[in-house]
């Protein structure tokens, strides 16, 4: 299959492909998504095939306007309305009770569905033109870092999907926050583009799913990377070093193998500490929004450089830091050093 590369203006073409059961790479403010008509089970099945994604991992339904929510969801609680009013369009996915019209293949058979209204004008224009909700996971091959540009998405999906629509680089850079509003209190399933603190400011109590941050052992003892916990992962093994930026930078300098092709993902302040090694910058040590924007690209760039091992600095968990930490920890299969 030839994958068409569409300009951001070719909305009607992209919409036609969606309407006729095809797959389109779609830009959003978070990451590029791999979209299909969310009401067409055959088209949605193709998403799983193109990504190599396990069938038991449900997809998110994307809508161009908050008012569409009622068509696909039942018993929408007040908490959801409040969140939609405050954060939509935006990087927040809400888990709600689904209506029957939503196919099983979208929800992996669950009686809930993840709903999001993205804050990206091209994305919403395509969905509106297609006239159907668009089911989309991130547009990467299952397990790989999510794509944050058209080039990233082509790398994984060229020849496997009908088209990719160019919407420029993603402004958030990590996926949406996912909150289950059918739980009481609401529960954060995945940290993302809306920080936990902002969700708590609207809702009061929000529980954290334990899988977001697994408790680590004492001191420097890194956990063996369990494959089933490794997501967002580049080809080379990743070691995340946590602690103050200066200490983690020093730890990496002390432990990097100069006779081996090892790369470093670090804050801008330390970018010239590792001459002779491929280095990717995450932005400033206090700028977790920039860290989020650059993280997935940095992981992919390490693959391109062909490094055998990756060392990465990590921000703290405040604000957008939580989403960055969660992606880094999973990319490393929880291979973490605390210094
Ligand atoms: P992706 O955007 O590729 O990360 O895929 C969508 C994410 O949404 C996955 O992590 C799913 O597990 C999650 N998700 C989608 N629908 C549901 C649901 N009904 N309940 C819980 N999680 C969901
Ligand atoms: Mg994904």
Read off the pLDDT of residues 200-214 as tens digits, 9 standing for 90 and up.
999 999 999 988 887
The CATH number of whichever domain residue 84 belongs to comes to: 3.90.870.10
> What's the gap in Å between 172 CA and the centre of ligand 1?
18
Question: For residue 11, what is the enclosing H or E element?
Answer: helix 11-19
Which residue's CA is the nearest one to ligand 1's atom 19?
113
Instruction: Please give the share of the chain, as a percent, with pLDDT higher than 70.
Output: 96
Which residue's CA is the nearest one to ligand 1's atom 7?
59
Probe residue for ligand 1, chosen from 113, 123, 178 as the CB with the greatest number of ligand atoms within 8 Å: 178
Do 130 and 175 reside in the same domain of the chain?
yes
Predicted confidence band of residue 76 (pLDDT cuts 50, 70, 90): very high
For residue 220, the model assigns a pLDDT of 32
The bound ligand whose nearest atom lies closest to the alpha carbon of 33 is 1
Average pLDDT, the chain: 94
The bound ligand whose nearest atom lies closest to the alpha carbon of 212 is 1
Is the pLDDT confidence value at 218 over 80? no
Instruction: Please give the share of the chain, as a percent, with pLDDT higher than 90.
Output: 91
Predicted confidence band of residue 229 (pLDDT cuts 50, 70, 90): low
Structural domain contains residue 224: no
Number of domains in the chain: 2
In sequence order, what E strands does 243-330 have?
A: 262-266, 279-281, 309-313
Do 163 and 256 reside in the same domain of the chain?
no
- Tell me which of 43-47, 85-89, 139-143, 228-232 is least confident: 228-232
Nearest partner of 309 among 277, 283, 334, 337, judged by Cα:
277
Probe residue for ligand 1, chosen from 26, 57, 96, 99 as the CB with the greatest number of ligand atoms within 8 Å: 57
Nearest partner of 61 among 108, 20, 17, judged by Cα:
108
Structural domain contains residue 96: yes
Do 150 and 266 reside in the same domain of the chain?
no
Domain that holds residue 101: 4-212
Domain boundary among 212, 246, 263: 212
Do 185 and 260 reside in the same domain of the chain?
no
The single-letter DSSP state of residue 228 is: G
Structural domain contains residue 90: yes
CB atoms within 10 A of CB 109: 10
Residue 315 to residue 31: CA distance in whole angstroms: 20
Which residue's CA is the nearest one to ligand 1's atom 11?
58
Domain boundary among 212, 230, 257: 212
Domain boundary among 178, 195, 212: 212
Do 147 and 21 reside in the same domain of the chain?
yes
For residue 284, the model assigns a pLDDT of 98
Predicted confidence band of residue 222 (pLDDT cuts 50, 70, 90): very low
Q: Mean per-residue pLDDT for 110-120?
A: 97
Do 89 and 200 reside in the same domain of the chain?
yes
Do 153 and 281 reside in the same domain of the chain?
no
CB atoms within 10 A of CB 221: 10
Do 179 and 63 reside in the same domain of the chain?
yes
Specify whether the backbone of 301 is left (phi greater than 0), alpha (psi in -120 to 50) or beta. alpha
Do 27 and 78 reside in the same domain of the chain?
yes
Question: For residue 128, what is the enclosing H or E element?
Answer: helix 121-130
Do 55 and 11 reside in the same domain of the chain?
yes
Residue 207 to residue 227: CA distance in whole angstroms: 26
Q: Mean per-residue pLDDT for 239-251?
A: 98
Token pair of 285 as six digits: 């040590």
Is the pLDDT confidence value at 228 over 50? no
Q: Which atom of ligand 1 is nearest to the CA of 138?
A: 3
Helix (H, G, I), strand (E, B) or coil at 25: strand
In sequence order, what E strands does 129-220 have?
A: 134-136, 163-165, 177-180, 187-190, 207-208
Is the pLDDT confidence value at 145 over 70? yes
Do 263 and 197 reside in the same domain of the chain?
no
Do 73 and 144 reside in the same domain of the chain?
yes
Structural domain contains residue 230: no
For residue 219, the model assigns a pLDDT of 43
Q: For the whole model, what pTM was predicted?
A: 0.95
For residue 149, the model assigns a pLDDT of 98
Nearest partner of 132 among 39, 245, 253, 67, judged by Cα:
39
Structural domain contains residue 155: yes
Q: pLDDT (tens digit, 9 = 90+) per residue, 268-299? A: 999 999 999 999 999 999 999 999 999 999 99
Structural domain contains residue 114: yes
Residue 89: asked if its preceding bond is cis (omega within 30°), the reply is: yes
CB atoms within 10 A of CB 119: 19
Probe residue for ligand 1, chosen from 137, 176, 296, 326 as the CB with the greatest number of ligand atoms within 8 Å: 137
Structural domain contains residue 225: no
Structural domain contains residue 86: yes
The CATH number of whichever domain residue 281 belongs to comes to: 3.40.50.11030
Which residue's CA is the nearest one to ligand 1's atom 2?
137
- Tell me which of 53-57, 168-172, 308-312 is least confident: 53-57
């Amino acid at each position: 299959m030839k994958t068409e590369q569409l300009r951001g203006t070719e909305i009607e073409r992209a919409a036609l492909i969606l309407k006729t059961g095809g797959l389109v790479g779609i830009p959003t403010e978070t990451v590029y998504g791999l979209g299909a008509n969310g009401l067409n089970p055959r088209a949605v099945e193709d998403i799983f095939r193109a990504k190599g994604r396990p069938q038991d991992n449900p997809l998110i339904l994307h809508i161009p306007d908050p008012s569409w929510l009622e068509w696909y969801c039942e018993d929408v609680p007040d908490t959801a309305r409040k969140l939609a009013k405050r954060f939509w369009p935006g990087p927040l996915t809400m888990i709600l009770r689904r209506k029957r019209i939503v196919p099983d293949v979208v929800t992996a058979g669950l009686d809930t569905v993840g709903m999001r209204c993205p804050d990206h004008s091209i994305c919403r224009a395509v969905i509106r033109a297609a006239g159907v909700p668009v089911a989309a996971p991130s547009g990467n091959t299952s397990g790989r870092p999510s794509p944050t540009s058209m080039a990233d998405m082509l790398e994984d999906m060229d020849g496997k999907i009908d088209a990719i629509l160019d919407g420029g680089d993603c402004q958030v850079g990590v996926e949406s926050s996912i909150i289950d509003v059918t739980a009481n209190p609401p529960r954060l399933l995945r940290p993302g583009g809306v920080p936990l603190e902002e969700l708590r400011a609207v809702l009061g109590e929000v529980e954290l799913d334990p899988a977001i941050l697994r408790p680590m052992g004492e001191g420097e003892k890194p956990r063996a990377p369990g494959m089933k916990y490794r997501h967002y992962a580049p080809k080379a093994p990743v070691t995340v070093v946590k602690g103050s930026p200066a200490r983690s930078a020093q730890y990496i300098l002390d432990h990097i193998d100069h006779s081996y092709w090892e790369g470093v993902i670090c804050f801008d302040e330390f970018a010239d500490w590792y001459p002779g090694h491929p280095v990717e910058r995450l932005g400033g040590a206090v700028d977790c929004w920039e860290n989020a924007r650059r993280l997935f690209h940095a992981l992919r760039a390490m693959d391109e450089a062909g490094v055998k091992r990756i060392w990465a600095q990590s921000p703290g968990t405040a604000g957008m830091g939580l989403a960055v930490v969660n992606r880094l920890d999973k990319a490393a299969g929880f291979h973490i050093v605390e210094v």
